[in-house]
Chain A
Amino acid sequence: MTPFKITPEKVLSEALKFNEKLAAGLKTLGQLDDVQYGCTEKEAVYKEDKLVLYRFKSEHKVTVKTPLLISYALVNRPYMVDLQADRSIVRNLQAMGHEVYLIDWGYPDRSDRYLTLDDYINGYLSRCVDVVAKLHKMTAINLLGICQGGVFSLCYTALNPNKIKNLITMVTPVDFHTPDNMLSHWTRAMDVDLFVDTLGNVPADLMNQCYLSLKPYRLNAQKYVGLVDILDNKAELENFLRMEKWIFDSPDQAGEAFRQFIKDFYHANKFVTGGLEIDGQNVRLKDIKVPVLNIFAEQDHLVPPSASRPLQGLIGSKDYTQLAFTGGHIGIYVSGRAQREVPPAISKWLKARDA
């Protein structure tokens, strides 16, 4: 029995159809303007160096007392949480009565090479928390950390337990040494001192190439062959281009912070093994006693679920909730399923703890 139900004529016909779609779509591609992102109006409420803290203006009545601050990763741009009208975690949370703030870390340049994790966590993030708390005349706010921003949020909450009311971590690695973590597996054999001493800041293009090489054939080849199927659909093509723009619109990484992050987390796995210090302060996840919602993606190839799940056993909080999302590292923000499942789950969890 042959697996091929394909005749040569069928192959020929498929080739011609492929060309037809390509011909129709390339014209569309050439006529499309640069894609826009960000759908929710926002205002800068605090600026420092290259950092901007935004407050999203809401068309909806704010019913949740405690504001929510989103701390995104340094390695990509934070507009992923508000990509477009029908793919916006921010917009969905607003519709459910939340006041949402977002940290934009900016694009570090050579002059930022000596920024450390202390500068990011005890400096920038800390001051943003203070600004939001002051604006709302509160002592503690809700914090949502995403990916690397989740790692920062865990450190911050452990060091400042009285300033965070509820903590949400999304696709956040905690145990960096699980066997299916390919990125960590590769990183562990690198001499990060040599790497940072040579490069200074770590170029964004290099980081992107590294991420793409985790699934080299799917992300460098299949994705673009599959794209031909939607080339003639302007709306879908724009969605694709918006994602593509986000993927490659990445900041360089401040060298010293990168060095510390790789050493403390990827190499030494200090959330699990202990001994993590930020500016001489011991960071212990056991000191996190506030309610924690941990959201991760089941098909995440960058932060496998096995890296996020151990959080439950490491924190001191008795109020721990876990949400396993069916999707990948990016789908968790932008897929249709994500819009239906993630913001409602966050909102429900926060509202239950808004007393």
Chain B
Amino acid sequence: MQNEFLGAMQSGAEQYLKGLNELSEKFMGSNAASGQGPSWSEGMEQFAKLYAGGNSHEGVFDQIMSQGKGFVAMLEKMYQAGAQTADGKTGGSIDFAALGQQMLSELTKNNPFSQIPGLQIPGFQMPGLSAGMNFPGMSSANFTMPQFPSFDAKTFSVENFLNMPAFGSNRESQERKTNLIKHLGSYMQAMQAYQALQMKSIQMAVARMQGKLEERSEPGRGLDSMKAVYDLWIDALEESFAEVALTADYQSAYGQVVDAQMRVRANVQKQIELATGEIGMPTRSELEGVHQKLAEVRRSMRTELAALKAEIAELKSARAGVSKAASTAATAPKVAAAKTATPVSKIAKTAPTSLLNAAKALAAKSPAVNKIAKPAAKAAATKPSTPARKK
């Protein structure tokens, strides 16, 4: 049995290698693979040379290669599991639970949860952080990262140490550093709780997959390709993830990990801000102050501009009324005109004060509205305090 299995494995490896070589010949004009050959997924590496790169699709290329390798690794495991059966021809005795664990490890190599989803914030890792916090020649307390002192673990826990009050001339600085360490600790704890839930969902997926395979054992519903097995596995993963992701535990873990990371980030930003401030660099807070004022000015300007435009429109409308009346007066008998035409001074007397003030201002500035605004403003100057219509 052992010999049969090894024979089948060797045969499979040779055939795969031969196939890869043929593909290399066909697509690359070279025979890249040699010897006993790498694992199936490693053998795919040679195809990377086919992608010339340099265009904007490198992200897609990386994803295809990394996920494709996971898929091919799964094929290899399945081949091995199949070859291990008594007759070496059918996959009838494949133990999916065991295989599932192998597949799981392949898939989780590229598991999107290897880091916290949604929180891969560019710059957060800040590789240059410690360097940035230790500018040469700078000896300020703000430029040194917090150091753990040596302590006797029997007497002091880290928690005890972090809860010790800071004092002395470096009190503020020490407190900030202690806080940063506390926040980092909380973040790691929150992260562990979060990842435990991810693992729970993956374990649930393995059980769910068993159920799906049982369903597929019914006549006419068998799986005839490894792609179909893979798709079923993804279904199991997604369904289990959704089940976990909608629980109160997950909601709480998600919130805690996001909040914990924000506290770390805020703390680091604060340290950087203090450090850069000390060497006279403009800080983010300063810039945000400017941005806030800018937003307020922009908002206020928009409001005033809109009001001004409305007033201009009102004035234009009033001018149109005067022109129309004047035109009527020109064509009608003088006596009639005297009865119907509305003098500019009368418009001014009945117009709102804000309008008249605007007219006055505009009369001085805008030639376009000068004709109507000037007489109106003049009339406004002599406007009685009591509204004209009450007279």
Contacts and interface: CB of A to CB of B under 8 A. Distances in A.
Interface of A: 1-12, 14-16, 18-20, 22-24, 26-27, 29-34, 49, 110-115, 119, 123, 179-180, 182, 185-186, 188-191, 194-195, 197-200, 203, 205-206, 209-210, 212-218, 220-222, 224-225, 227-228, 231, 240-241, 244-245, 248
Q: Which 8 A-B pairs have the closest CB atoms?
A: A189-B255, A213-B117, A210-B118, A114-B295, A30-B52, A3-B216, A8-B82, A16-B19
Given A18-B72, A113-B288, A224-B64, A186 B55 contact: no
A247 to B, nearest CB: 11
Contact of A244 (B60, B221, B226): B60
A19 B19 contact: yes
B75 A221 contact: no
A14 B226 contact: yes
Contacts of A24: 27
Nearest to A115: B295
Contacts, number: 274
Nearest to B13: A12
Contacts of B48: 26
A190 B255 contact: yes
Contacts of B214: 3
Contacts of A114: 291-292, 294-296
Contact of B224 (A6, A111, A214): A6
A16 B14 CA distance: 12
Contacts of B72: 15, 18-19
A71 B150 CA distance: 60
Given A4-B222, A14-B226, A29 B241 contact: no
Given A31-B52, A191-B255, A222 B231 contact: yes
A189 B254 contact: yes
Contact of B119 (A26, A32, A180, A209): A209
B264 to A, nearest CB: 9
Nearest to A204: B122
Contact of A221 (B60, B110, B258): B110
Given A189-B251, A216-B238, 16 more contacts: A4-B91, A7-B91, A11-B91, A19-B19, A26-B61, A113-B288, A113-B292, A114-B296, A123-B299, A185-B251, A194-B266, A209-B120, A216-B113, A217-B237, A225-B227, A244-B60
B229 interface: yes
24 contacts: A4-B223, A12-B12, A19-B19, A26-B64, A27-B51, A110-B287, A110-B288, A114-B292, A179-B246, A185-B246, A186-B250, A194-B263, A198-B266, A206-B118, A216-B111, A217-B234, A218-B234, A218-B238, A222-B230, A222-B234, A224-B64, A227-B64, A231-B64, A240-B60
Nearest to B94: A4
Given A8-B88, A22-B47, A206 B222 contact: no
Interface in B196-237: 213-219, 221-227, 229-231, 234, 237
A15 B226 CA distance: 9
B156 to A, nearest CB: 30
Contacts of B64: 22, 26, 29, 224, 227-228, 231
Interface string B63-77: 110111011100110
A27 B50 contact: yes
B53 interface: yes
A179 B230 CA distance: 29
Nearest to A214: B245
B356 interface: no
Contacts of A225: 67-68, 70-71, 227, 230
Contacts of A191: 255, 258-259, 262
B246 A241 contact: no
B91 A6 contact: yes
A244 B60 CA distance: 8
Interface in B9-67: 12, 15-16, 19-20, 23, 26-28, 40, 43-44, 47-48, 50-57, 59-61, 63-64, 66-67
B252 interface: yes
A75 B54 CA distance: 28
B80 to A, nearest CB: 8
B192 interface: no
